[in-house]
Structure 1
């Protein structure tokens, strides 16, 4: 099933298989800010923002997903609920609020069993570790806090409060190895924390940059690639040392590009990185082993706006404001195809997992597909009523497109038809597919992530 929460004060349950609406849950008295599902799939937790502009409070509702009936209404926060997380065993709910508190709820009884009060301002986000023992929260007072959920009855519930950020923390994540938590803030810093002893492993200083907006961690947890804005672009790869502030010893180091461009991709074997620039008309190839630029691909008449690499690592695909899509041989660094047809800026390019098709999207509302080997046009896919900002290639000759028209569309590249449409409450800006080829994640202009599962 797929669960959606809306500003129309409802939560809807959809069938992943038939893609039809199963149930509409009504009962919220204000716009539903978000929702979560218990691990057993039996309950939905929705939270909304109620009250007047000068006095806001957040309600949390627990619903039976099968019957649509309300099980509990949880009240206690004095401001908007910003985030919720359910423990892996499904027994407890943790909520973070603008009232600077975190609350722990018993999902069997609906009772509040603990309140964490160590934040001094808005609590922006909260996550729970896979073992369910720790919760990590970030607050607008520039702090990260780690809470021991196994000790919720103890008076001093803050397990550790990492200190170091001096501006608002806007993102936290747990590394795939389960050893580290990473935080990014508006103070030009990225911090890594050891979850075994809650000590700071390192601080990465981002000189000359305003904000680290987001970051991605490689599966081996050894490299972090940053997304940020800059007033003075740098074109070098720096080795950013991570030294423990207590011991002054280097624990390990990240090799990460510092503003190598407005977008970047890494080759499948992880040996090279290709970066493109809005300010320039080409792309640079960086050897991640040599830590230096080893090639340049130029040919577009206007700035490069997007790039992709074929899954087999043979080709680089670039899209530009000149409305063209170009295909480059990575080994020879020669241009092999120029794909024309769009009448607006090209926003996104992608390649299907089987290396057969190139997919592109544009300001002209169209999605275009070409044969990667021959350059022949496969088709023009129309149906969006707004700019298409992102595309992703899927297995079995399918593709996903994300548009400003508030829709995600699933396309069959063989029949050239849209076989499913997901409608959101805001324009979609980015989408991605998980390694399983079925889980789709899409981000919208409200800052929300939507998770969809494809069947068949």
Structure 2
């Protein structure tokens, strides 16, 4: 079995904190998920987490206009410059303090970073600037007296609006310009949330935390502000030299900030005087630079109707459409059209504060994120539809389960929700809310049509995966907190173990009624599992009473066999062959028992492999803390040769069962925003008053967030305040295909899959077997030899090339002549190719011939290969099913159009006929009237003649 598993994707965590940003094409959105970054492709409906990570959670991200560079800064001020082409970190920089915001200029030549009350403008590396040294400081200035909270570039990339927490906004220039000096805008009574330049203009809109919007008009246009000519003035030869001296070369060179700021202002004044000197005969003087307030609007009136203490938490503005989005702490957001400030739309998405908002390039989509519940959505405001609406578990995941074909993962969390995730695209496609308390166990049925979950609310529920509904609810005669659940191979029996009542309950899935109550344990039942063998009805249960019991549920439900484990049982897992069971105990050991003989056949000492770690609030050392650690989740690989184990640690271990040795150890995270990663307490926190990590840290604006957890709380915090969760692995599962494994951790649902890089892994290779000789056999139409040589080289591209050049009529003959080992390898490659190839019928013909000719009597095909083929067929079926449904309904619409046109033409013809009839009637009446009038005239003439 291969062990080159690499981090593949992160599910379950959609958005943590900080800002989100759209890519330049507007089809993807980049979201910080802890110390990782996830890219959601909205066009192709796919989510991908980058393999790079930081030591702390990201809170600021900025993307260059061309989408090639990404600046990501974590909580401690450590910045990473990431190439989005290769998805690698090309440079790192430490700002020493937390960075509030960062922004690239529209032309891509600079990017600005704000920390405390200072703003640093760096030259952007790349072809545009011709500078390839990263983080080259070009200018530094001060925003205001308080922290800078917002940066906004003008459309021409020459000016920068710097908004501060003290309610002021400063307009600064990247260079020195005629008639321009730094200008300060005030008028706000609360902190600034956002400031926005108008398109191709210097007009500014500023928004305060209390919902006050100020609209400012500039006296000059950007074209009126021209760069100063430093060489022209002859009276001041040392001006340029003074300017160069006033600009620091790096961030660390700024020692005396007040002196530097005074020096820059003096230099600007001298340059202003020099540039204002007019030549003789020219009396024209430049216009002064100033701002005028056009209006003041209070936009929090609608939000304060919902909550009195509502305040603005996020805002974004699209310059082209002039649409302003304002989000509030109540979870509602409003759209306004400027400059008239007309409200277009309002919507409430959650009961938690919206912490970030962003427009895409065209202004059609709005991305909104709520950090409190990990909610991220993309909304199309014109059609009022959701493009994406995703939310992870608001607290930790407790349990996970793979579907039989490995295509889906079901997760259960502390928030009483059951979620289904698509492994291929990384999105959650259904959420079940029926439980009212924490989910403790979840299990898929072998038919992939349903799953069951148990909860502390005293119910076990069965969910239909096809219709997305809860169709069975199992309860016990008295209230029980269920800690684990299991399904037998046929899916007919459901078993659940109690946490407060030491009994096991057995229900019938078809009848929905309780069949049996199994008693015998003297402690909480921690884990139960049915034998995966179709011919066996054995069930094994583990408990805190230091025993495991083997039950025969159908033949004699009351009889059982007890095996002592000498320590409390934390979890157990069945071998796929159904003959062995692995049991993890509280002393850190893993014991292997044979099911029929009840004898121990192996033992693994894994306590030292868990790794030590000490929390900030621990009063013991990491070495002493290691004695209380144990594995809390076990799973066998698809071939039954290896065990995957995880527990209260940052490490996940893979053991070889027969040899009882550690094969590989995976460190799931390096995120120091979590607790329990270090082996030693930071001595900087140890003072004469004790550990400063136990002292509450409060923020002024948010009402005081506490950074420590309540005493005795292991999962969540039970209070609405921030805390540092401790790193642990709640559940691990191997994919049925063996190509990947998943772990539910504090970080989220981590997916590790086999490395798909360039790995040369030949099979029975000899000197004459080369790609050249393989293609030579193809040209000579020696298809069997070419296929065997390609399988020996084990190159997927070459195997695909050889397969697709074999005639369709030759498949039966070549398949029957292959040996068993080559047939197995060929079926493995076909199962992978079926996922992406358009030649579905061709590869299905190969799969049918291989399965028919070789069968599986002698275990020719491994179980994981057949499961991989099943997964590929399921994906292909769903894709073709959607396509066929779309084509079917489209054809119905197209076929119905002629009928509608015929009906419309018939109705139009009837209307025309009616109109013609009416015209004919009118003509007849006119003729009749004419005849009557002519008769009357003739009678009159005859009368006159007679007279």
Shorter-normalised TM-score: what interval?
A: 0.5 to 0.7
Q: Tell me how far apart the structure 2 counterparts of residues 415 and 101 of structure 1 sit (CA, whole Å).
A: 59
Task: Name the residue aligned to 2:626.
Answer: none
1:98-177 to structure 2, matched below 5 A, reads 119=349, 121-122=353-354, 139=370, 147=378, 155-156=381-382, 158-160=384-386
In 2: Cα distance, 1:251 partner to 1:4 partner: 28
SS where residue 262 of structure 1 aligns?
strand
Deviates more, 1:215-224 or 1:256-265: 215-224
1:363 and 2:564 equivalent? Answer: no
Deviation at residue 254 of structure 1 after TM alignment = 2.2
CA distance in 2 between partners of 1:278 and 1:335 (Å): 22
| Contact 1:60–1:75 under 8 Å retained in 2 | no
2:561 pairs with one of 318, 337, 345: 337
SS in 2 for 1:327: strand
Q: Deviations over 1:2-56 (max 9, x none)?
A: 1399xxxxxxxxxxxxxxxxxxxxxxxx99622458989996465763579xx99
How far apart, in 2, do the equivalents of 1:51 and 1:294 lie?
53
Query: Is the alpha carbon distance of 1:359 and 1:438 closer, same or farther for their aligned partners in structure 2, counting shifts above 3 Å?
Result: farther
RMSD value, Cα: 5.7
> In structure 2, do the counterparts of structure 1 residues 383 and 424 end up closer, same or farther at CA, with 3 Å as the change threshold?
same
Shift of the 453–220 alpha-carbon distance from structure 1 to 2, 3 Å rule, reads same
Q: Give the number of the structure whose alpha-carbon radius of gyration is greater.
A: 2
Aligned partner (choices 619, 636, 647) of residue 393 of structure 1: 636
Secondary structure at the aligned position of 2:551 is classed as strand
Cα separation, 1, equivalents of 2:102 and 2:485: 45
Is 2:229 aligned against 1:229? no
| SS of alignment partner, residue 410 of structure 1 | strand
Q: Is the 8 A contact 2:523 2:545 kept in 1?
A: yes
1:448 aligned partner:
748
Q: CA deviation at 1:70?
A: 3.5
Give the equivalent residue in structure 1 for 2:172. Answer: none
How do 1:183-198 residues align onto structure 2 when only pairs under 5 Å count? none
Q: CA 1:203/1:43 → structure 2, altered by over 3 Å: closer, same or farther?
A: closer
Which of 3, 7, 15 is the aligned partner of 1:3?
A: 7
Paired positions, count: 357
1:331 to 1:437, Cα distance in 2 relative to 1, 3 A: farther
Q: Aligned partners of 1:443, 1:183: CA distance in 2, in Å?
A: 8
1:254 matched residue in structure 2: 471
Q: 1:443 and 1:188 mapped to 2: Cα distance?
A: 16
Aligned to 1:33: 35
Q: 1:421 maps to which residue? A: 665
1:441 deviation in Å? 1.0
Q: Which residue of 2 aligns with 1:292?
A: 513
CA-CA distance at 1:403 after TM superposition: 2.4
Q: Closer, same or farther in 2 for the Cα pair 1:65/1:400, shift >3 Å? A: farther
Rate the CA distance shift 1:391–1:213 in 2: closer, same or farther, 3 A. Answer: closer
| Superposed CA offset, 1:46-105 (max 9, x none) | 5763579xx999988645797944499996699xxxxxxxxxxxxxxxxxxxx7699xxx
In structure 2, how many angstroms separate the alpha carbons of the residues matched to 1:145 and 1:50? 16
**Candidates 294, 308, 318, aligned match of 2:541:** 318
Say if 2:443 and 2:487, in contact at 8 Å, map to a contact too: no
Partners of 2:35 and 2:737 lie apart in 1 by 28
- Structure 2 unmatched ranges of 5 or more: 10-31, 41-45, 61-74, 94-100, 105-112, 114-312, 317-324, 328-332, 334-348, 357-364, 404-409, 421-429, 609-628, 670-726, 756-760, 762-947
Cα distance in 2 for partners of 1:156, 1:397 equals: 56
Matched position secondary structure for 1:431: strand
Q: Tell me, in whole angstroms, the C-alpha distance in 2 between the residues paired with 1:205 and 1:264.
A: 17
Kept after mapping to 2: 8 A contact 1:345/1:363: yes
**If the length of structure 2 is used for normalisation, what is the TM-score?**
0.31
Higher helix share: 2
Partners of 1:291 and 1:387 in 2: CA distance: 36
Q: Give the drift of 1:121.
A: 2.2
- Which has the bigger relative contact order, CA under 8 A and spacing at least 6? 2
Contact 1:326/1:335 (8 A) holds in 2: no
Aligned-partner Cα distance in 2 for 1:51–1:169: 19
Which runs of 5 or more residues in structure 1 are unaligned?
Answer: 6-29, 79-98, 103-114, 125-133, 149-153, 177-181, 193-200, 242-249
Cα distance between partner residues in 1 of 2:601 and 2:411: 44
Query: Alpha-carbon deviation of 1:348?
Result: 0.3
Change (3 A) 1:397 1:334: farther
Q: 1:217 to 1:283 in 2, by over 3 A?
A: closer
Query: Is the Cα–Cα contact under 8 Å of residues 302 and 322 in structure 1 kept in the other structure?
Result: yes
Q: Secondary structure at the match of 1:374?
A: coil
Q: Match of 1:300, SS?
A: coil
What do residues 133-187 of structure 1 show as CA deviations (whole Å, max 9, x unaligned)? x999985788988647xxxxx6537514999x9xx966999x99xxxxx999999
Query: Could you tell me whether the CA contact under 8 Å between 2:441 and 2:483 is conserved in 1?
Result: no
1:382 aligns with 2:605: yes
Rate the CA distance shift 1:262–1:67 in 2: closer, same or farther, 3 A: closer
Q: Which residue of 2 aligns with 1:279?
A: 500
For residues 343-395 of structure 1, the C-alpha deviation after alignment (integer angstroms, 9 at most, x for no partner) is: 32101011011112110101111101011221111111003232111111222
Partner of 1:105: none
Q: 1:393 to 1:334 in 2, by over 3 A?
A: farther
Cα distance between partner residues in 2 of 1:123 and 1:217: 36
CA positional deviation for 1:302: 2.1
Q: Distance in 1 between matches of 2:484 and 2:754?
A: 27
Change beyond 3 A, Cα 1:136–1:330: farther
Match of 1:358, SS state, is: strand
User: Which residue is equivalent to 2:737?
Assistant: 436
Alignment partners' CA distance in 1, 2:481 and 2:376? 32
Quick check: 1:49 aligned with 2:74?
no
**Aligned-residue offset at 1:221:** 7.5
Matched-pair contact (CA < 8 Å) for 1:116–1:157: no
Shift of 1:443: 2.1
Flag the 1:315–1:51 CA change in 2: closer, same or farther, 3 A: closer
Q: Distance in 1 between matches of 2:640 and 2:468?
A: 44
- How far apart, in 2, do the equivalents of 1:213 and 1:269 lie? 23
Change over 3 Å in CA distance of 1:383–1:253 after alignment to 2: closer
Indicate the structure with greater strand content. 1
**Residue 402 to residue 186, structure 1, CA distance change in 2 (3 Å):** closer
Deviates more, 1:291-300 or 1:36-45: 36-45
- Is 1:406 the equivalent of 2:650? yes
Q: Deviations over 1:99-142 (max 9, x none)?
A: 7699xxxxxxxxxxxx9975562579xxxxxxxxx999985788
- TM-aligned CA deviation for residue 301 of structure 1: 2.4
